[in-house]
């Protein structure tokens, strides 16, 4: 499939995966080695991931440009042909693939994947874009929010939310952040490998890294493949986890000997970090209604020898916490299901799968989970509510509503040395991608009165 008469295997496979995302709402994150064609070599696999994530991330802007250069109704074009044009435009404008290669390969892809007659259309549209790449048309809809949303490839409703809350400049920085290729956080397991040894071996693998400015047991890397190939995750040397998630665990501040309940635990990243912070001493009950994903927590606990520390419970928290004999914990974490609008850089597809009504639906669930979790907190214990969204309705407004219902709780300032830069004046953990350079997250530490 590498002759001049056939399209490259990476583009053909990217087309197949993009169709899955469009038609089946598959996650971009599911485009992994197991989902890809077995015949692909490592370079082609990397290219598939690049095409799929990039085209998904930039699809609104790409469609705006394609509509400008296509003499017809783009939204009536058959899906496969539109996806090929998106791949070609993405290559020309954002990957800077040489014109001949980008045009020729996508023309060949159209011949084979659509029909021979589609080649002329693909050739004409892509060459028109290439000729005007230095003077591309700009959105001018008479609505600043919509213009920004098109140019930075986001839904307009998101931009309408952010513009009044942040400045125009900060909103553009947030949109730009969401379109960058993400870096990855590595949480180092000091029981297996020291930070110094990790850094030394990363240098030997020629993997660029930088230290986290927020957490002393985290590093940042751009490329995971060499680390995966070395088996570091399987050996428990490190875990892939964003610093914002680590900060939520630090806000909970689990101590050796504590009883902790992690109420929305799967797939277990925060649970395992808690166990490490507790030096394997105490009790963690990991609760989640998704039993298949919860098995990942149990498997990882066994790998690390923490099967006696971590107990898993496949259940809906709202039912599990109801009996009078439900466990009483020193610390409870509600890592709540949310709209995820703080993690759009890593979840390229999520922006297109969310709607404003999702936030309304999630608010009810978040309130119910908080009330259920409150029943598990012993007098004097701590409840931490965390999300990976930027939206006030899911964050501080949920905390305020909870405090109105649960008068025996109060907001407590973090006391465990969280960096001042990530704690706001009200004592909430708040990370903004455009300001802190990590995923957006929120956390509130709530203390239950001793007298209850």
Catalytic site residue 264?
no
Q: Which residues pair with 261 in a beta bridge?
A: 285, 332
- 92 phi and psi angles, rounded to 5 deg: -65, -45
User: Is the torsion defined by CA of 340, 344, 347, 352 positive or negative?
Assistant: positive
Tokens encoding 350: 């999520």
Six-digit token string for 199:
């850094």
Which of 238, 264, 338, 388 does the annotation list as catalytic? 388
And the tokens for 40?
Answer: 């692909």
Q: Which residues are catalytic?
A: 388
């Amino acid at each position: 499939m590498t002759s001049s008469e056939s399209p490259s295997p990476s583009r053909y496979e990217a087309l197949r995966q993009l169709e899955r995302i469009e038609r089946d709402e598959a996650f971009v994150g599911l485009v992994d080695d197991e989902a890809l064609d077995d015949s692909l070599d490592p370079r082609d696999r990397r290219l598939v991931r690049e095409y799929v994530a990039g085209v998904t991330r930039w699809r609104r802007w790409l469609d705006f440009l394609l509509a400008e250069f296509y003499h017809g109704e783009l939204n009536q074009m058959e899906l496969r042909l539109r996806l090929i044009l998106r791949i070609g435009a993405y290559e020309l404008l954002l990957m800077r693939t040489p014109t001949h290669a980008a045009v020729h390969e996508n023309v060949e892809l159209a011949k084979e994947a659509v029909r021979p007659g589609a080649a002329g259309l693909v050739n004409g549209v892509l060459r028109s874009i290439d000729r005007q790449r230095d003077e591309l048309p700009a959105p001018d809809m008479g609505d600043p929010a919509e213009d920004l949303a098109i140019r930075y490839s986001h839904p307009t409703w998101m931009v309408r939310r952010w513009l009044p809350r942040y400045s125009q400049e900060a909103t553009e920085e947030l949109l730009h952040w969401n379109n960058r290729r993400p870096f990855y956080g590595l949480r180092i397991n000091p029981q297996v490998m020291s930070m110094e040894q990790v850094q030394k071996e990363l240098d030997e693998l020629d993997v660029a890294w930088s230290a986290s400015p927020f957490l002393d047991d985290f590093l940042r890397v751009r490329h995971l493949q060499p680390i995966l190939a070395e088996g570091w995750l399987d050996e428990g040397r490190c875990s892939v986890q964003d610093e914002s998630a680590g900060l939520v665990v630090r806000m909970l501040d689990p101590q050796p000997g504590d009883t902790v309940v992690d109420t929305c635990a799967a797939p277990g990243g925060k649970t395992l970090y808690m166990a490490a912070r507790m030096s394997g001493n105490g009790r963690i009950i990991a609760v989640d209604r998704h039993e298949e994903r919860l098995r990942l927590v149990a498997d990882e606990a066994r790998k690390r020898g923490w099967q006696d520390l971590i107990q898993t419970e496949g259940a809906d928290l709202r039912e599990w916490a109801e009996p009078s004999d439900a466990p009483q914990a020193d610390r409870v974490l509600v890592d709540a299901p949310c709209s995820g609008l703080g993690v759009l850089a890593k979840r390229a597809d999520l922006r297109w799968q969310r709607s404003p009504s999702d936030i309304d639906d999630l608010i009810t669930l978040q309130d119910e989970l908080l009330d259920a979790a409150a029943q598990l907190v012993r007098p004097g214990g701590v409840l931490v509510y965390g999300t990976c969204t930027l939206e006030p309705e899911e964050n501080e407004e949920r905390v305020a509503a909870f405090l109105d219902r649960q008068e025996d709780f109060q907001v407590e300032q973090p006391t465990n040395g969280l960096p001042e830069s990530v704690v706001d004046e009200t004592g909430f953990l708040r990370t903004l991608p455009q300001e802190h350079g990590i995923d957006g997250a929120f956390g509130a530490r709530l203390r239950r009165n001793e007298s209850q």
